[in-house]
Chain A
């Protein structure tokens, strides 16, 4: 069975290699911060990092994670100290909160690639669905975490 690292810890799991990473995380490793939303890689609630890249884990087979390093929301920081988590708290982003793990993981990958993203880059990267409609605060929090003023310069 494939072995891979999750949040710095090596795991060997006994499961069908076709099992989506999401369900390995949730049902075998007890890491339930990563959420099931659509199962077709559309909503982003299941977003985790694989070798630092954002991946929709509902559609990412366990076999593809072999030998790689997975980071989940639980591993984003040990104590909610990631700049995005702090910004999320400062801007009071979450409402129901279900999509927010995936939203944060997508944003964290964005900031790694683009430390000061423009509004266009935020638009392009943040395709996670939020049914409560927290988008305005998500944008503000990303700008805050990247040291930019809350409001963009517009077009």
Chain B
């Protein structure tokens, strides 16, 4: 997403916090825990938590008898400290890091803290965008200051209340271990003992923040709060919700992307066990039954006809032809034009020193392990949702529009755990569909997409085409760079406020990430963009524009280095003279990977370096190529995200991101006659453990501004892998995945035999 663009800060009518409905709030918080059937509570008694515990979903209004200090912190008389987690726990570890920041400032006993996942409410919006969502690797960047302030504010309120009770100066007291201590006398009051008085005090606007030396949690590798529940099956995902009186829905949509429902014969399944209703939808049909398997079974038997909308033009071959034609002919908008690109290109052309290369990125499906699902109860005056979602605010606004309700009549509750997201769950399409089905049957419905629906009805990472052209000097260094990028919008579906900018300027800043700015010293630069119109739904996916664009740029720089007869590391260093942070991660990754040391035949190392999401990342990939097999032996990553708030969690994001990046090299989504070809993990294959390389990860904080972590490491994988394959066998891959070149991933351990270590 763009930074500091005035057009991007979402201004909407603030949905007022819903008035506390009688019993409604505790019911909401209760739901996720009832599904535990007592197990969760028992476990907590049997095994004292060693870290904070996620206990359920927060309500818009606090439970009776509990006064919140702020929307972020509640403390009971029994000294139970509850912190609200605004951001969705989608695997990135945010449900540990954000509340730990707050708890550290507060002086809370972290091991006893309880956590609740936030409902939609204005207080939980990303303060930099005034919009509630989880994504763009920016949760920590956006919320860090706020968490510090909210923790400090609550601490000062509690200290002031205790000091008043004792008749001493607040400055003579401190907070630690969920208690306030009077330093001189050693007197102690728990947070809970003064919480009621503290809650009546005004929230300090600029509380004192702790000095770094006073911090006990920030910067430490904390045990993730979500891990225990994820090793015994007790973690509650959206798909696990059980609502009293709910029915289950299964859906099938038209095989063709643009196909519509023509006719459905409900009587064909009316006698089947458990079946309650057949609900026609615009592009498909839902069967509602007592259990999901009954619904799914009936769906398979249902007599249904779709209007075929076969569109021969909607095929992967046609899309590639379109992209190639557009790369030649445009038209273009030109968001970047600095220096003297034309003159320098002409001069280089005169000397026969212009190089150009075209790169292609494939369509990809998010394929979260937890398929799209949600539970919705539509009643005459309202709509309540329980969903694994990253995009509660967009869901509220969209549902209100579709159902003709006011925003405050729509409540979107987020599941405590979300089984993968990668941008997919920013979109409300699956929630709206379920709401329409619930409305039709007048009952709460849990809709689960089977994997086929989940893949075929994804909002895909789009195929893009990138042409890079460079003028070179006599030493083979670039004198000017021109880029052409062909991409549909990726940001608009998740960020409707982009619409005016897209209309007026004709470019999507997310689709140009990694091209609008560059880490290299290239003052003479031009970037052209073509907003490719396609009926295929496209949206953001982990790495957004950075991944596709930097696959092209980092491959191209490698090509330039080889053309100049220069080592790719040395070549990049020369272009990074003014970027010490990039040089530092690059040098370190190279050193850790043994860059330059000899390798047996068939092996090669490739590198790539990037700035993405405010973080510098350099990667070296070592491969052994024996066609058709590409064994990815080791991936070394050096990462500077400014400041590391939790080195364990940051490292796990980098590690996992490498595998996510490999998926971009392993599979693709293709289209044929208007339909998605792949529909499950047999056709859309993700990396397996056996293909997962040894990972070397080093975090190199520089003390600079906080950067993102979650999406950074996949950015450099595709180019570093392509560059490694070139180094190993001389084949240049200008398109992914490997299958387009007759290659595939092999077992990620060194091949046995002569010459190999």
Asked if B749 and A154 sit within 8 Å, CB to CB, the answer is yes
27 contacts between A and B (CB under 8 A): A30-B35, A32-B233, A33-B233, A35-B239, A38-B451, A42-B681, A74-B234, A80-B43, A80-B47, A92-B648, A94-B91, A96-B421, A97-B229, A98-B420, A104-B231, A123-B690, A130-B659, A131-B660, A132-B91, A132-B656, A133-B655, A135-B689, A136-B692, A139-B689, A154-B750, A154-B757, A155-B756
Per the bound structure, the CA–CA distance linking A28 and B293 in Å amounts to 11
* Residues from 709 to 757 in B contacting A, C-beta threshold 8 Å: 747, 749-752, 756-757
> Does B652 sit within 8 A of A, measured CB to CB?
yes
Asked if A35 and B369 sit within 8 Å, CB to CB, the answer is yes
Within the complex, the shortest CB–CB distance from A126 to chain B, in Å, comes to 4
Within the complex, the shortest CB–CB distance from A119 to chain B, in Å, comes to 7
**B interface footprint on A93-131 (CB within 8 Å = 1, 0 otherwise):** 111111111001000000000000001001110111111
| Leading 3 A-B pairs by shortest Cβ distance | A33-B233, A133-B659, A98-B419
> Does B228 sit within 8 A of A, measured CB to CB?
yes
Within the complex, the shortest CB–CB distance from A148 to chain B, in Å, comes to 16
Give every chain B residue within 8 A of A28 (Cβ-Cβ).
291
* Residues from 24 to 69 in A contacting B, C-beta threshold 8 Å: 26-28, 30-40, 42-43, 45
Asked if A101 and B233 sit within 8 Å, CB to CB, the answer is yes
> Does B682 sit within 8 A of A, measured CB to CB?
yes
Interface segment out of the listed B115-123, B219-227, B479-487: B219-227
Per the bound structure, the CA–CA distance linking A73 and B233 in Å amounts to 6
Contact of A37 among B223, B371, B656 (CB under 8 A): B371
Per the bound structure, the CA–CA distance linking A155 and B756 in Å amounts to 10
> Does A1 sit within 8 A of B, measured CB to CB?
no
> Does A6 sit within 8 A of B, measured CB to CB?
no
Per the bound structure, the CA–CA distance linking A28 and B613 in Å amounts to 45
> Does A3 sit within 8 A of B, measured CB to CB?
no
Give every chain B residue within 8 A of A76 (Cβ-Cβ).
232
Asked if A74 and B232 sit within 8 Å, CB to CB, the answer is yes
Given contacts A80-B47, A85-B232, 20 further A-B contacts (CB under 8 A): A16-B297, A32-B233, A32-B239, A35-B239, A42-B681, A72-B233, A79-B43, A79-B47, A80-B228, A92-B227, A94-B231, A95-B91, A97-B91, A98-B237, A99-B369, A119-B749, A132-B656, A133-B657, A134-B656, A155-B752
Closest chain A residue to B658, Cβ basis: A133
Give every chain A residue within 8 A of B695 (Cβ-Cβ).
136
> Does A138 sit within 8 A of B, measured CB to CB?
yes
Asked if B227 and A94 sit within 8 Å, CB to CB, the answer is yes
Contact of B291 among A27, A38, A93, A136 (CB under 8 A): A27
Closest chain A residue to B452, Cβ basis: A39
> Does B408 sit within 8 A of A, measured CB to CB?
no
Contact of B419 among A31, A35, A119, A129 (CB under 8 A): A35
Asked if A36 and B239 sit within 8 Å, CB to CB, the answer is yes
Give every chain B residue within 8 A of A20 (Cβ-Cβ).
293
Give every chain B residue within 8 A of A94 (Cβ-Cβ).
91, 224, 226-227, 230-231
The verdict on A95 contacting B93 (CB below 8 Å), with A40-B680, A88-B231 known, is: yes
Q: Is the interface of A mostly helix, strand, loop or mixed?
A: loop
Within the complex, the shortest CB–CB distance from B506 to chain A, in Å, comes to 34
Asked if A126 and B689 sit within 8 Å, CB to CB, the answer is yes
Within the complex, the shortest CB–CB distance from B687 to chain A, in Å, comes to 7
Q: Which of B232, B248, B750 has the most CB of A within 10 A?
A: B232
Per the bound structure, the CA–CA distance linking A137 and B692 in Å amounts to 11
Asked if B656 and A74 sit within 8 Å, CB to CB, the answer is no
Closest chain A residue to B291, Cβ basis: A27
* Residues from 261 to 312 in B contacting A, C-beta threshold 8 Å: 273, 291-293, 297
Asked if B230 and A100 sit within 8 Å, CB to CB, the answer is yes
Give every chain B residue within 8 A of A33 (Cβ-Cβ).
232-234
Per the bound structure, the CA–CA distance linking A75 and B544 in Å amounts to 40
Contact of B35 among A32, A38, A124, A128 (CB under 8 A): A32
Within the complex, the shortest CB–CB distance from A41 to chain B, in Å, comes to 10
Asked if B369 and A95 sit within 8 Å, CB to CB, the answer is no
Give every chain A residue within 8 A of B621 (Cβ-Cβ).
none
Closest chain B residue to A84, Cβ basis: B231
The verdict on A129 contacting B686 (CB below 8 Å), with A38-B451, A80-B47, A94-B230 known, is: yes
The verdict on A88 contacting B448 (CB below 8 Å), with A36-B371, A97-B91 known, is: no
Q: Which of B229, B648, B688, B689 has the most CB of A within 10 A?
A: B689
Asked if B657 and A38 sit within 8 Å, CB to CB, the answer is no
Asked if A127 and B749 sit within 8 Å, CB to CB, the answer is no
> Does B359 sit within 8 A of A, measured CB to CB?
no
Give every chain B residue within 8 A of A130 (Cβ-Cβ).
369, 659, 689
Per the bound structure, the CA–CA distance linking A33 and B751 in Å amounts to 38
> Does B698 sit within 8 A of A, measured CB to CB?
no
Asked if B224 and A96 sit within 8 Å, CB to CB, the answer is no
**A interface footprint on B615-659 (CB within 8 Å = 1, 0 otherwise):** 000000000000000000000000000000000100011011111
